[in-house]
Amino acid sequence: MTEDPRTATGGGPSLFDALYESENAVVRLLRAGVPAESVDEDGASALYLAAVSDRPGVVRLLLAAGADPDRACGPESGDLPLCGAACGGHTEVVEALLAAGARPDLREQFGFTALRWAVGLGHARTAEVLLAYGADPCLPGPEGESPLLLAARRGSTQTVRALLRHGAGAVEGAVEEALAETRRMLDTDLEQELRASLRELYGDTDAYEVVARRTVVDGGETLTVELLRDGRPSAGRDQQTGHGAIATVLEAELGVRASFEELARRALRAGSPELDNWRVPAQALRDRGDEETRQAAEAWCASEDPLRRAFGADVLGRLGHPGTNRARPASGDGSGSWANWADAP
């Protein structure tokens, strides 16, 4: 990096070197007169680089020294510190910038806002902070897509709930559109879709080892497909998978009553009581709290499938009634007999 008299003193390290060393090094340079608004040879500001590198302490120092939280930078002056931090899910940095006066709905190059980045990438905690500081939950993205639609497509249950709490459902048709997209994703083979997107980007993936892995954080599951070369990640795509839970949340928002079989299908596809895709449908059944729900759960308890039995027991436990497996009526809500529901696919 070419030294700039504005960013270094006495031939010592530049402010941009200090960003990655320590907060004390940054303090020394700021006290020596290096401007907090310094930019490097590519036009990137010190604040922007600290934001995208998730250095909240350095961000606070630069802001306290006078750095403008809304100053765009970069080769085409199209990059905003808040958007850079939101893109990486750096929630503490986002909060520091907002507390210093960053405008949450300011658009950077190509029309992206910080909330658009956070929602599209499934950074739920970052999105919640942006919304708490006044980000518009209904502001369309650069292609006219609503934040709620993006969150539903992404599969982040926490983000969907945060948007709804802050009024994302106020726009006519927004919840219906998001529900339709969620149901489409429910019937999509997400792993195959990720593999296909990597083939489209990188051509013949036979030159790579393709691996898929699933990680669970706070009840949500993320599916990641990576291309490995010589055992090292070369490229990858990821997708959150909370569509079963999201569909249930959006149906509740609209007052739509999903069938017993559909709620069970969502839970059983999750395969684990630890996931939102299991817990949210089970909670929806508990909230119904009626005799039909109890009898449906008892029917599942009589199933030969151990996972279905577990789901039935979970629902009964939430209802506060032990399963008795007594005789079931021949019909329920028009979608089949209780006995048939026990082993329905």
Tens of pLDDT, residue by residue over 151-183, are 999 999 999 999 999 999 999 999 999 999 999
* In a shared domain, residues 155 and 206: no
CATH code, 148: 1.25.40.20
Same domain, 82 and 61: yes
Q: Give the CB-side neighbour count of residue 328, counting CA atoms within 13 A.
A: 24
Q: Examine residue 247 and state whether it is found in any structural domain, yes or no.
A: no
Indicate the pLDDT class of residue 124, thresholds 50, 70 and 90: very high
Q: What would the mean pLDDT of 12-36 be, rounded to a whole number? A: 91
**Residues of the chain above pLDDT 70, percent:** 89
Closest listed residue to residue 71, CA positions, set 49, 52, 45? 45
> What pLDDT is attached to residue 7?
52
Claim to verify: residue 135 and residue 283 sit in the same structural domain: no
Regarding whether 30 and 171 lie in a shared domain, the answer is: yes
Examine the fold and report which residue of 142, 157, 186 is the final residue of a domain before the chain moves on: 186
* Mean pLDDT, rounded, for 59-73: 97
Mean pLDDT confidence for 244-264: 96
Q: Are residues 178 and 207 in the same domain?
A: no
Looking at the fold, whether 215 and 317 belong to one and the same domain comes out as no
Instruction: Please indicate, yes or no, whether residues 203 and 132 belong to a single structural domain of this protein.
Output: no
Same domain, 90 and 133: yes
Confidence band, pLDDT 50/70/90 cuts, at residue 92: very high
Residues of the domain holding 301: 257-342
Verify that 166 and 31 share a domain, yes or no: yes
- Quick check: is 3 in a domain? no
Same domain, 168 and 215: no
pLDDT at 191: 96
308-333 average pLDDT score: 65
Q: Which residues contact 143 (CB under 8 A, 6 or more apart)?
A: none
Instruction: Phi first, then psi: give them for residue 233, nearest 5 degrees.
Output: -60, 130
Region at 218 (left for phi over 0; alpha for psi -120 to 50; beta for the rest): left
Is the pLDDT higher at 124 or at 14? 124
Quote the tokens at residue 102: 């960053």
